[in-house]
Amino acid sequence: FSPERLLAGGTGPLYVKLRRALEDAVKVGTLKHGDALPPERDIAEYAAVSRVTVRKAIDDLVAEGILVRRHGSGTFVAKPVSKVEQRLSQLTSFTEDMARRGMTARSEWLHKGVHTPSPDEMMILGLAAGTKVSRLSRLRIADDQPLAIEHASVSGEFLPDPSTVTASLYAELEKRQVRPVRAVQRISATNMKEADAGLLGVPVGAAGLSIERISYLGSGRAVEFTRSLYRGDAYDFVAELTIGS
């Protein structure tokens, strides 16, 4: 990437020229997807422009989703996502879904703990007074691409110690013979707020899918209440429909 090129003419304010130079560098592959951008002060120095100009050009490209800022580690060229097509008729886990596509699932844990349930959790999970709830929050990643943020609440009776969940929640529930067999899922549209957008590497305000899943045992007891935020640009949910009688 050689921002000197931007001194070679063209029209418009300096930050627009710099933005174009950065965009071109991504298009022709001088800056590759996932690459870190040099520090702002270095770019300002090479291009002989002020840091304010550099900041403005980068802000625009972050808003367009071409670059992503990661707190504490810098600015990177965003990776294009390949869309995941998810059938809405099967009760599967994230780990299984990704394995089926030949992708490797992993999670970054945001929280794991045992809590006194909120009124919502008590009602939805049908918890008796005095029962605890295990909460597990994580960033779900497939092949290094963050796809979703999930906050799961599981009745303490079925999962007394959330630290036993290392990779897959459903695998742990299966081991404990309380893997859900039925679920109700609600999907609604949302726009990403700053903290979530930062974790998912998308611009603030980007389209997201907010998904709530309540899953049940064969006996009808609720096992899991999970609220998730999926990247709108990375998921297609597909359902098969048949004519009603």
Pairing between β-strand 145-155 and β-strand 182-191 as defined by DSSP bridges? unpaired
Examine residue 95 and tell whether it contacts ligand 16G (CB under 6 A): yes
Which residues in 48-77 contact ligand 16G (CB under 6 A)? none
Q: Is 94 exposed, middle or buried (0-12, 13-18, 19+ CB in 10 A)?
A: buried
Near ligand 16G by CB under 6 A: residue from 131, 168, 190, 210: 168
Q: How far from 191 is each of 188, 196, 197, 206, 230, CA to CA, in Å?
A: 10, 10, 9, 5, 11
Closest separation in Å from C-beta 18 to ligand 16G: 40
Integer Cα distance of 175 and 207 in angstroms: 36
The CB-side HSE value for 71 (13 A sphere, CA atoms) comes to 7
Residue pair 154/132 in contact (Cβ under 8 Å)? The answer is no
> Stretches 60-68, 74-82, 111-119, 167-175: which one binds ligand 16G (CB under 6 A)?
167-175
Integer Cα distance of 17 and 11 in angstroms: 7
Examine residue 141 and tell whether it contacts ligand 16G (CB under 6 A): no
Whose Cβ is closer to ligand 16G: residue 47's or residue 152's? 152
Integer Cα distance of 62 and 60 in angstroms: 5
Distance of CA 5 to the CA centre of its chain: 36
Whose Cβ is closer to ligand 16G: residue 22's or residue 214's? 214
Closest separation in Å from C-beta 166 to ligand 16G: 10
Whose Cβ is closer to ligand 16G: residue 61's or residue 152's? 152
x/- map, 195-234, ligand 16G, by CB under 6 A? ----------------x-x----------x-x-x------
- Site residues (vs ligand 16G, CB under 6 A): 93-95, 150, 152, 168-171, 211, 213, 224, 226, 228
